[in-house]
Amino acid sequence: MKKILFILFCLSLVGCVATTSKTVKLQLGMTKPEVIKVMGNPTSVKAKESIETLEYLLYPTWSPSIYDQKQQYWVILRDGRVIQYGNAGDFGSALPEKKEYDIKIQDK
């Protein structure tokens, strides 16, 4: 039983090492084909005007566990060149401002 748990633990570490080895090779200014060569094909692609977002689902590197769920990792390109990359939740203030309105209608 201990041997099986050890093997599963080692396999989970291998997945994390592969993720880290990919993301550390990213650089600002890379072209889309260069990103795909490093990261592989994205899970999805979103585009608006000259901004394109390549989305990858990767296992987190900070907590190797067989129970980890994949995290969204974005590579953002403008005019075909990388301008930002990282975990999806890390982009808060760096993305264009998003305006939201909370309108409450009261009946009289």
Q: What percent of the chain is predicted at pLDDT more than 70?
A: 58
Give pLDDT, residue 35: 95
Domain boundaries, the chain: 2-92
Q: Is the pLDDT of residue 78 over 80?
A: yes
- What value does the mean pLDDT take over residues 32-38? 95
pLDDT, greater one: 11 or 84: 84
Fold of the CATH domain 2-92: Beta-lactamase Inhibitory Protein; Chain:B, domain 1 (3.30.1450)
3-state secondary structure at position 8: helix
Residues pairing with 44 in the sheet: 55
CB 89 within 8 Å of CB 82: no
Q: Which of 7-16, 30-39, 56-65 has the lowest mean pLDDT?
A: 7-16
